[in-house]
Structure 1
Amino acid sequence: MITAVDVIRTKRDGGELSTAQIDWVIDAYTKGDVADEQMSALAMAIFLNGALPREIADWTAAMIRSGITLDLAAVGKQCVDKHSTGGVGDKITLPLAPLVAAFGVAVPQLSGRGLGHTGGTLDKLESIPGFQVDLTEDRVVAQLKEIGAVICAATGDLAPADKKLYALRDITSTVESIPLIASSIMCKKIAEGADAIVLDVKVGSGAFMKDFARAKELAETMVRLGTDHGTDTRALLTDMSIPLGRTAGNALEVRESVEVLAGGGPADVVELTVALAEEMLAAAGQPDADPAAALQDGRAMDKWRAMIGAQGGDPDAPLPTARETEEVTADADGHVTEMDAYAVGVAAWRLGAGRERQGQPVQFGAGVEILKTVGEPVKAGEPVFRLHTDTPDRFAAAKESLAGRWSVGDAPVERGPIVLDRVTA
């Protein structure tokens, strides 16, 4: 007979959990037969003592089995999913999904909302008037067949054990565990039923993983999990030491994404969008596809407009704008030499673009506009940031988060590469 106390004791003492123990504890916790305090103790034991690859694979499989899996066979196309570990200004999903769909590949993007300093894809899209994120499985399949791209909320029936466990980890300081992070991400991605998964693992101050070695370990763990479950999985490690693009905030990022789809936009956003599209298309059997061309010739924009319209949005409607703006200016002539991504994310959050806890509303027009980024010249008195909010009493706190976290120097600097490494099975 397996008991919660025995499972906790095994991992507390550095032992290896059996497949039967893992299956039992995930099932019992999902049903409510294992108490939160017992699962908290087990999560802390895993946090402190780690887990072997076989344990992580079993844990992931058990969480997948706690709910439904989507059947995308009816779509009739190769289905490729993408997941980002989150960062500041990371709006890549928005241009990426219609770009890949322009090549006849289906992109089922089941996304989430923002919490803390990283923005949520659903919050960004809901700034588009009329856009609907809650879709039935039948509607997801139908839209993938017709248009090839959908970005919507994940159903609560997908890996419910993970949803319950994630909320517990968030309040017990057990989030930063590679086995638990990897299984949490991959159980949902695998349950979505895609043929392939491309992971964007962020590294740097604005990312969940600040350290390259730990980020690579996470990427390798997730790639192994996907591969072991029969899903072609690959990962890019990408730079998040400075913000991605020129905006952090919901409607601001949508506007920038549309610029990319129109053949313009910031060079770093275009570069990463194309790099991830190339990986997704290669996984779908199109290694010679040219996604950069589809941004220039309007094919990606056509898919974007079709996707927004299919989900009730108006692609031509004006996006929300904040009622108030203030600028942060340079004190001296020179070049911007540093810009801490985390500080910019916190500033956007404090302006109202994010939330402190689940369920809070966000200000769609709030955020930070980056007028001068790393490597660019600036003159004393010239604005570097433009802050947007509906509530001007938020400006002081946003400015406080930026103070001392960016700098101007005499010598110009070059930004390093966006893609730092690639991990495959």
Structure 2
Amino acid sequence: MSDWQQTTLGDLQTRVHRKVAVPPQGSRASMSDWRQVSLAEVVTRVTTKNVDGTNQNVLTVSAEHGLISQESFFTKKVASKDTSGYYIVGPGQFVYNKSTSKSAAYGTVARNLSNAPGIVSPLYLVFEAKDGAALPEYLELALNSNQFFGSLAGMLREGARSHGLLNVRLKEFYAATVTLPPASVQERIVKVIGALDAQITALDAEAEALDEVYRGFLLSLGARYGEVKISEVVSRAFAGGTPSRSNSQFYGGDIPWLKSGEVENDSIVTASEFITEAGLQGSSAKMVPPGATVVAMYGQGDTKGRAGFVDAPISTNQAVLALVPDESLVLPRFLLHAVRSKTDDLRHRAVGSSQPNLSKGLVVTQTIPMPDSLADQKQALAAIDSVRANQAATRAEADRLREARPTLLSSLLDRTIDIESTELEV
């Protein structure tokens, strides 16, 4: 694990400020060197179209991934057959996607970081930095900041938001203002955010590596131990149900109601939807006790076959099978990992033509690896849970840094963090 654990914005500010250097007299940029300029002052719109249709490198803008191949993002081609009206995006040029999302309330600006030109839908805006106006790397950060989007929001007329797509006029977009510090400060901001992004990437890679270690542990269970049917080591196995949607008295209570898409979690304590005691009593929904393993029996994509562990009382719908362990035969958390070691086998056993599903009978007759003694289970469980705990901590740290990134960038742009008089230690 890295030494970036439990990071807060204050920690990030401390890392930026840790070494304070006294700059030579007159070297520090003055307040007047920082400007708020309209986007039109630093960029030029690009309207070159794919008139001959020869460029088939269709790109899309993602808030998470930037400017990427459309086929990679959607796993299929969704562009029009006729791409002659698409804009060509050269290396280093920018694209603004007006589509909104939870993480991008005013859309996303991305830059073509490849050496090859691509094409984008005419719904996007394409532009490039004017020579010497701003560092492209800095401009990409500034145009995805709260400051820029706040300025853009102030430009929009009422009713500009519609069906997840901002109806931004050209005049409004290019009139929005961007913070423009001196070039040396732009470079320092790029370095700070770049270091933060590199740390997030490293943590993501570490979490993925730990996931592979975990999968290796699961495979080793089958190689080391004999197998038993799930029904041989559980005291109860039952699915839940769905209270009638027509009865408003059944929903909005304080009983969490778990659905199959929410199953894959090592510590399930709540759900996205809640039912009332009347809803529980008036349906086949059932309460699952802490210590049970739950299995998704059907759902979209790879949902079926997923397993999770219940840490607090919870109810479930009919797509979730609860497995209550016989604790004289199996440790509760070992049952979770043993079932997960057979996820692929469970999915292959699903039946049905249009959407194959599992059933209680198919799940409880599945064989799982099982050491002869609880002591052997405890030993294996200690190693597995250690890996999972490290993986969870690594992912949580990456998430904390992602959450802190926008505020850190804003603090650099509004000079809450005085980056000019520090030696960087990010």
Instruction: Give the TM-score range, shorter chain.
Output: under 0.3
- TM superposition score normalised by structure 2: 0.24
Q: Greater share of strand residues, 1 or 2?
A: 2
Q: Greater share of helix residues, 1 or 2?
A: 1
